[in-house]
Amino acid sequence: MQSGPRQIVTPFRPIPLTVPEGMKPNEFFNSTENLNDLANNNGLLRNPEGLLLYRKALGHSNLFDTSIIYDTSQSILDPLGRPVRRTQLPEQVKAVWNRMNRIIFAYMLERYPDPDAHLVLMGEASLDATWPLTSPGVPSIRMLHNHFMVFDKVELAAAPFADLDNPNLTDGGQHSLFQAHMRDVYRHFFEGLDLKILKPCRDGSCRLALTGYPQGLPSWEVSDGIEALKDIRFWEEYDTILKGFLDFYRTFFGQVSIRNAPLPRGIHFPELVKVRLQYDDDFLATAKMVRDRCVGDAKYANAIRWQPAFKQLIYRNDKGKLIVTISQNSIGNAITELLGVVVDRRPDADAYGNAEPALLEQLFEVRRRLVEADLGHGIATPFWGEV
């Protein structure tokens, strides 16, 4: 079997929303009206912590696809002021968020137990103002949310290969600045983090044979598999990886912005940054390269995402092991591309309708388990009831 990224077609039912005259689609999709549609027409479960489970109207996969969003749309009207990553959650919200993530992921592994048959993953990407608001890839809903999805490997194997120059295939040195110019520095920095449950993967050992992805990224195997997700230490280490990434990103682009810049405020691991970044010649030389190009190339400078932009996920590899990985989200924003799956969403109500009953059956079971675990109450919509 030839390995390479695949491009699949995922049909969806056209969303019955009219963008008001004078607004761009990405402006409207940030509005409270769109968020009301998300909850009222696609909502499955809410809880007092503000977490909303919903059916993806524009999904990645019609086999299994759902999301949880930290819905602060009514309490924080400024989209740029909302929490957009795990590290910004209040502790009591994070505890509920972690339990919901574990229960949903455990259901996915139970329902799709064979790693040869299905690709199972969950994860998030940064959603803050990391690049110009007028850019076509700007996130539509600036609130933290997690993706949960399953893909059929037989369908993936039958799908055509994706264009290797697709700008959304952001990992492995194809487009990623970190991997192309600072791979050794990047990995050495992560090696300084205090991790016990997460064990570093050997080069290439975590790749999916079908796609060859992820490529070149720091990745960690989860000791004890799904059972480890019941341990708060796992989630603390999951956060540690994100915090380490944020420190690396902020320090690097701080140096790009200002030569010999001081440490960013609020950094998580100041000693690690000092020892492994601030005196590293490759790190500083790469910052100079990017800074010099920004000065002379207005288009390049405008595309820089000066604030931390990332994709972090947990997936099951070919051997059935759970793997954690994280990537600079330099260009694209679809989390599936981190694993070499490019999704082409196309409007087709009939095709979506054929897949919808089986999808909803699974989402209702997930909701039942969350309610049973005291993680929220069901939402009734015009299309389904509360329980």
Task: Name the residue ranges covered by the structural domains of the chain.
Answer: 6-378
Instruction: Out of 54-63, 176-185, 294-303, give the one with best mean pLDDT.
Output: 54-63
Among 215, 175, 168, which residue's Cα sits nearest to residue 7?
A: 168
Query: What is the value of pTM for the model shown?
Result: 0.93
Q: What is the pLDDT of residues 89-146, one digit of tens each?
A: 999 999 999 999 999 999 999 999 999 999 999 999 876 655 555 555 455 567 888 9
Q: Which residues pair with 66 in a beta bridge?
A: 55, 148
Q: Which residues of 168-201 are buried (b: 16+ CB within 10 A; e: fewer)?
A: bbbbbebbbbbbebbbebbbebbeebebebbebb
Q: Is 369 exposed, middle or buried (0-12, 13-18, 19+ CB in 10 A)?
A: middle
Q: What is the pLDDT of residues 269-317, one digit of tens each?
A: 999 999 999 999 999 999 999 999 999 998 888 777 788 888 899 999 9
Among 71, 100, 96, which residue's Cα sits nearest to residue 83?
A: 71
Longest dimension (CA), the chain: 60
Q: What does the block give as tokens for 368?
A: 């039942």
